[in-house]
Structure 1
Amino acid sequence: MFAVSLGDDQAQLRPLEPWRAEEFLAHMDRGREHIGRYVGLPDVVTDLDSARAHLQRYADKQAADTGRIYGIWLDGTLVGGVLFPNFDAAQGVCEAGCWLEPSATGRGLVTHATRVLIDWAVEERGIHRVEWYVSAANRPSIKVAQRLGMTREGVLRQQYAYRSERQDIEIWSLLADEWRGRPS
């Protein structure tokens, strides 16, 4: 097991594995309304079996090298996470994503955790392009993309049906050379 500090001793990034399903479900229950404003995760994780199945899907993706999921712990409590929903090492392209419960917002945890993931993807795995898909209404997630130095490439108008409403999806990305050339 490993843990990466996210700026102080109270915040850590750790693997989010199937054996943590009960903790994951409790986290979803605490943040269900807030997280579910733009992310479908609370609609998928509704009970212990679905929590375990979701984490198992990511364990299987990690084993196949097609995705990964990590939790963000603050003061020993799971409060959010970051992930690679899609990871294609052969093509050098991945997608990064995130979620966070309201008690942990405004601390830079998602930005810091996503930096750790991107750095690993680019420097260790040779990923050339990191993509970030976000609802055009999700201002906090768009601000994370901006802080990470991503470029807004465009909008897929009414691309995603979410809770009976069509959502515009913004596409943000960064390239390995841009990541390596960023200021410290």
Structure 2
Amino acid sequence: MLAHHLAERAELRALEPWRAQEFYEFVKRSGRHLAPWMPWATDIDEPAKAESWLRGYADDQARDGRRLYGIWLDELLVGGAGFSVFDAQGGVCALGAWLAPEARGRGLVTGAARHMTDWAFRTRGMARVEWSAATANVRSIAVAKRLGMQREGVLRSAITLSGVRHDVEVWSLLAEEDDGVQRERT
């Protein structure tokens, strides 16, 4: 997947280390919005840290592990989606996404997540795609619902974000449930 059309003037593309400056600029613009849910939004405070973070994903992808993609709108990086876990042998991956506030309401995250889920099932033969979100992150949970995922439960006090403990909802979609028809299209 070099690039995938998401919507008018919007694409999903690999977010690679050579895009570190662009990613750093995105974090500078949107970090305050992302910080409650994405710990890296405060950690990436210089281009070198952006490059290191992206290189970690690129190195893992080269070993058929986790991978990362960006969402561009009008050629501006406005978000991303990635497999934070990609266990090809076990057939399980964990998907997550983020988006700048000015890009909301266009279906970009749902479109990216749908494309990546379809790729995981149809191209890579994965059996399960997971989605986790802090219970207060209602936008993220709404994406899981739109993808047709099933809520499996809540992990109580499972993560710390900005010094605050949060419960985490776990959602999943299995390959045999993914018929492309039962999922809500947005």
Is the TM-score greater than 0.5?
yes
Runs of 4 or more, structure 1, over 3 Å off, are 181-184
Which residue does 2:71 correspond to in 1?
A: 72
Secondary structure of the structure 1 residue equivalent to 2:178: helix
Question: In structure 2, what is the equivalent of residue 183 of structure 1?
Answer: 182
DSSP 3-state at the match of 1:103: helix
Q: Hey, what's the Cα distance between the residues in 1 that align with 2:62 and 2:78?
A: 25
Distance (Å, rounded) in 2 between the aligned partners of 1:144 and 1:67 = 20
1:7 paired with 2:3, answer no
- Change in 2 beyond 3 A, CA 1:5/1:54: same
Equivalent position amino acid for 1:151 in 2: Q
Give per-residue Cα distances to partners, 1:73-108, cap 9 Å, x unaligned. Answer: 000100000000100011100000001111101111
Size of the aligned set, in residue pairs, is: 183
- Counterparts of 1:156 and 1:183 in 2: how far apart (Å)? 27
Structure 2 Cα separation of the partners of residues 107 and 93 of structure 1:
28
Which residue in the other structure is 1:104 paired with? 103
Distance 2:180 2:112 in 1: 19
Contact persistence 2:36–2:162 (CA under 8 A): no
Q: CA deviation at 1:181?
A: 5.5
Calculate percent identity across the aligned residue pairs. 49
Tell me the residue number matched to 1:167.
166
2:45 match: 46
TM-score (normalizing by structure 1): 0.96
CA distance in 1, matches of 2:36, 2:104: 14
Question: Which blocks of at least 5 consecutive residues in structure 1 are unaligned?
Answer: none
Aligned to 2:84: 85
- Normalized against structure 2, the TM-score is what? 0.95
Contact 2:148 2:182 in 1 (8 A): no
Where does residue 23 of structure 2 map in the other structure?
A: 24
Q: Which amino acid aligns with 1:64?
A: R
Give the letter for the 2:62 counterpart. Answer: A
Amino acid at match of 1:173: S
The one-letter amino acid paired with 1:14 is R
Is contact 2:68–2:82 with CA below 8 Å preserved after alignment? Answer: yes
1:155 alignment partner, SS class: strand
- The root-mean-square deviation of aligned C-alpha atoms, in Å, is 1.2
Partner deviation per Cα, 1:123-151 (whole Å, 9 max, x = no partner): 00000000001000000000000000000
Query: How many angstroms apart in 2 are the aligned matches of 1:85 and 1:44?
Result: 17
Structure 2 match to 1:116:
115
Report the residue type matching 1:51 in the other structure. A
Structure 1 stretch displaced more, 65-74 or 172-181: 172-181
Structure 1 position 179, deviation (Å)? 1.0
